[in-house]
A and B are shown apart, each in its own frame.
Chain A
Amino acid sequence: MPEVVYSSPGNIFDCIRILNEPSGMKLKHYALIFLLFQVLLPAELEAQNSLDIPEVSYDQGKIIGSLPYGRQFYIIGSSKLPNNGRADAVKVKIWSTGRTVFNRKKKLQQLTGDKIASILAGPPLDSAVWYADRTEDVNTYRLYMDKALQFSSEYMMEFTFSERVNFKLSEEEKTLVMGNIQNRVLAVGKSKGGIGVSEIQSIINEEVTTYLASQDQYASLFDGGTTTTSNYGNLPISPLTLQNLSQAIGRYVSQEQLITLLGPQVEQAKDELANMPADSPDRADLEMEIQSIEKQLNNAIGGSKDAQEQLPELLLIIRSKLIETYSSYVITSPEEISVTELNAIKIGTAFGGGMVGFNTFQDNKDLDVFGYTALKFYLLPVDKRIAQPYLAGPYFINKLSILVGVSVSGDLNYHGQILDKAVGFYPIIGLSYDVNRYLSIDLGTTLFKQPSISPLTNDSDIRIGPVIGINFDGDLFNRFNALFSGSDYKVNPGN
């Protein structure tokens, strides 16, 4: 009786060695079953607790490699900006173009400008923002994308880098900028018959930007052409201040318009009165009208004066807010189009146990059980690290693979006759169907040599026997691949 020691989960080769030893068949059966569960259960539990998030690089306006599918992922890249600054924030938006590449005979045609514009106008599939931690000297951003992309699909991305740039204005500069703002708002108010709060804010932004862009030390920040914009929405001027300013300007402009309108009206009415017969019944009405218009005119003159006096006071509030201001230096990269492509080797590695259907329980209580190891060549793309490993194709077919393997233990017998190994081992070929990502049911055939039953000859015939089995798929190729690439092989069944 050999000593059976299972020191750690997945100790497959120990188990195979034990199976090969000439012990009882029952031990073989139990060991084989135990082997599967010894490996499968801990592997499944480990998978439940693991979390591996792949990373993809964005460099020089391109995604390096292909986008991951079926899993959350990070986009990483450099936060350095063309102006030698560093981005304070990086934002990415992802849209699906609605096109897939799997089984497509022709290459995807380039998207037209109109199509790109219409996709960008729609809501993004996912977006993420990264903010720099200024306390650390880090030049790399990491954008966490929390939605899994579809396999073999095309996506469009837009990256926006923004940097906060602070400006300090001297008292002289403030006077200059405020003078420009005052002139502009009054001019617009007069020409448009009033001015809105947003318009005042826009004028302030434009005047501050125009001034800063004219200064040598800041000019480079505004040289980005169409890709660079700046705004002062952050200028700390309260909406109430702007509202008061809008009203004061509106009132001032209105009073000025009133004066322009009512002055000639008074003159016209007075002329009419002068030309009106002394006994006209309309004289009283006209005199009242003149009084009314004159009263309005006087009010307008007084109102205009008040509004004009109020303006500098309100502008002073804005001036005081110009102590320190900042702008967002924003670069929006041209849209990048990338496709999710298969990032796994679609060959499984099976360790299984099966039986050959020679004997029935009535014939022989010992079934022809043997262990085998095999490769599984999947017919369609498979990636066993993700929640839905079977990436494309119709159900059932997408779980099928061609099984090619060899037996590693056990002898076959037929009615008590030991069947020889065909080529030093029993080869196995067949089809495997994945019950889940780890477990498969195999159906195939094996070759063996049947010695002649005559004791007078050593001849033997090559024969084929049916095999039914169950195997554990360790996905070893992808595990080794991950190992060599320096990353962890982990399953994310929860995504």
Chain B
Amino acid sequence: MSKPIIKFLQEPPIEINCQEETEVKLSVVPNAPGICKVVLSTLLQSCTFDNGEAQMTVEVECAEGETSVDCQILVKMVCAEPDEYFTLLMAKAINAEEQTSYQKPIEAIIKCQPVV
């Protein structure tokens, strides 16, 4: 049973605008066929994903023999105060055999300015 491997495919920092959905690109090596969960999380206390949580999970279908899967996750964030934050976005993968990858961070700028 091997751990999955996850990495961001973008150059840091990722810019996330609260007014719109932002595409976050990741590559997952599942090391097991089946459903692989990709978990994105933020360390920022002032903001959450639009599900109201500090993390969001996306399921990726990994076929037998598939060595690497590229996935694009649409991210939208909500902040308590209209402001601009520099923070970390974390990603980890959990494969069909419940093995968890090491967490990978990427710098992110969350722009939650009020609409003028």
A282 / chain B contacts, CB cutoff of 8 Å: 2-3, 31
Query: Knowing A261-B105, A293-B102 touch, does A199 contact B44 (C-beta < 8 A)?
Result: no
Contact with A along B89-116 (1 / 0, CB 8 A): 0100000000000111101011000000
Q: Which single member of B5, B42, B83, B110 contacts A199 (CB below 8 Å)?
A: B83
CB distance from B83 to the nearest CB of A (A): 3
Query: Knowing A194-B44, A265-B103 touch, does A285 contact B85 (C-beta < 8 A)?
Result: no
Contact with B along A222-255 (1 / 0, CB 8 A): 0000000000000000000001001101110110
CB distance from B39 to the nearest CB of A (A): 15
A254 / chain B contacts, CB cutoff of 8 Å: 43, 86-88, 105, 107
The prevalent SS among residues of B at the interface is: strand
B44 / chain A contacts, CB cutoff of 8 Å: 192-194
A198 / chain B contacts, CB cutoff of 8 Å: 81-83
CB distance from B40 to the nearest CB of A (A): 14
How many angstroms between the C-alpha atoms of A193 and B109 in the bound complex?
12
A292 / chain B contacts, CB cutoff of 8 Å: 7
- Cβ B5 vs Cβ A285 within 8 A: yes
- Cβ A194 vs Cβ B5 within 8 A: no
How many angstroms between the C-alpha atoms of A253 and B43 in the bound complex?
11
CB distance from B99 to the nearest CB of A (A): 10
Q: Does B45 contact A (CB under 8 A)?
A: yes
B104 / chain A contacts, CB cutoff of 8 Å: 296
- Cβ B102 vs Cβ A289 within 8 A: yes
B61 / chain A contacts, CB cutoff of 8 Å: none
- Cβ B103 vs Cβ A194 within 8 A: no
CB distance from A233 to the nearest CB of B (A): 15
B83 / chain A contacts, CB cutoff of 8 Å: 196-199
A269 / chain B contacts, CB cutoff of 8 Å: 102
Contact with B along A413-449 (1 / 0, CB 8 A): 0000000000000000000000000000000000000
B42 / chain A contacts, CB cutoff of 8 Å: 193
Query: Which B residue's beta carbon lies closest to that of A281?
Result: B2
B2 / chain A contacts, CB cutoff of 8 Å: 282, 285
Q: Does B21 contact A (CB under 8 A)?
A: no
Q: Does B70 contact A (CB under 8 A)?
A: no
Given contacts A261-B105, A289-B102, 4 further A-B contacts (CB under 8 A): A194-B43, A197-B83, A250-B85, A257-B88
